[in-house]
Structure 1
Amino acid sequence: MLTPRQRLRKTVSVLALTFGAVPAMAQVGLNIPAPTLESFGQELSADYFNEPVPDLYPYLEGSFGYSVFNWDPNDFQRQQRRQYDDQREYVGSVTLRVESGYSYRSWLYLGVGVHLLSDPDEDDSELRYIRSASLGLNAKVQIPLGRIWPYFDYGHHCWLGTLKLEDGDSDSETVSLTGCSPLIRAGLAFPLQSNSRSFQIEYSRTNFHSIEGHGLSIGLRGAF
């Protein structure tokens, strides 16, 4: 059993060893560089946005939006039993689009797209509407500018649908829509992961016979 004097000496020895090791540990810690926000951003940018992309790869994109169409009802009447007012008619439509094709180095795209139009109040027979589906080819050019990539898309689509001209069941007239027309889109793409995946905001315009359409949509595009 240790005497009080021996316990005191042992305690002093332990304290001396402990406090003597602290400066050495601090010196080692000072030689280890701490991570900085700048280095973290560089690693994130290198891994997240600069992932290698093949020269040619398949892509898939889809979008959801809202479009407004207007037309002169006198251009579509089949029966001459009445003359519509000179004012143009307007209607809103929900738009869905799916496109797939190939991209060259994330700046040139060529694909086949399906474009769907559906009226928001599909169950309300009192509202004029336009319902349609189209299939066509799209060619897109995209310009890389940092984290925002503007693009321009030109497509030629063939349509099949119906157009309701007038309010009210008794005075309404439904016309079939068939034919082909250009579909022009322009927007901004924001890369999400590498240059092959992006979030998009776009404006679209079409002119089918005398029907003018303008729309806004959001969507996603990615490689597979």
Structure 2
Amino acid sequence: MRAPNVQTVPGERARKPVLDTVDRVSEMCFGLFMALTFVGTVSAATGGDAAGHKMLYTALGCNLAWGLADAVMYLVRTIADRARRHALALAVHRERDAAAGVRALRERLPAALDPFFADADLEAIRTRIAASASLPERARFERDDFLAALGIFIIIVLSTFPVAAPFVLIAHVPTALLVSRVLTLAMLFVCGFALGGYAGWSGWKAGLSMTTLGVLLTMAIIALGG
């Protein structure tokens, strides 16, 4: 069977997810660390028949607050980075001196990529920017920015449940704490495995490394009073 003939538009990229693997893994790990350290520090002081529900509600409230804060800060970082790139594009677009425009692009080029771009390459980019008639006057938010911020909020909130839900389902607090930590370590391993696959590393090694890092980081946060 012949493969379908897929038409592509030159210069058009495939639609990217609003959050890449690194973003999703990072936010999941952040939510897990927040919930795990919170549960670990207050579980010993919580008792009574409603202890499990109190644990879940307080951990959920903690991650709701941090999820909101992280989502808002994502929007702040996004618009700041976009405004910086937009300012460069406008400066190059308005610069009449070709050499000055190439220097501006060179200064903003990552050091690791600098050897791979000759002045002629940057001049070609400068020419296209200078000839563009579609540059907006200022950087603006896009729909995907808000979708990504919502995704961050949801990921952090959902990461609460594997950590705190055992305290609702299991009445014996020490057993619930053990189950909670086992589930958290399993999720950290899955996060590391996914990150390893994304980065081209060994998934198993990345998963074990993330689990070990999670244990050490959680111990450090608790020791520091977090």
* Pairwise TM-score range, normalised by the shorter structure: under 0.3
What TM-score do the two structures reach when normalised by structure 2? 0.22
Higher RCO (CA 8 Å, separation ≥ 6 residues): 2
What TM-score do the two structures reach when normalised by structure 1? 0.22
* Larger fraction in helix: 2
- Structure with the greater alpha carbon radius of gyration: 1
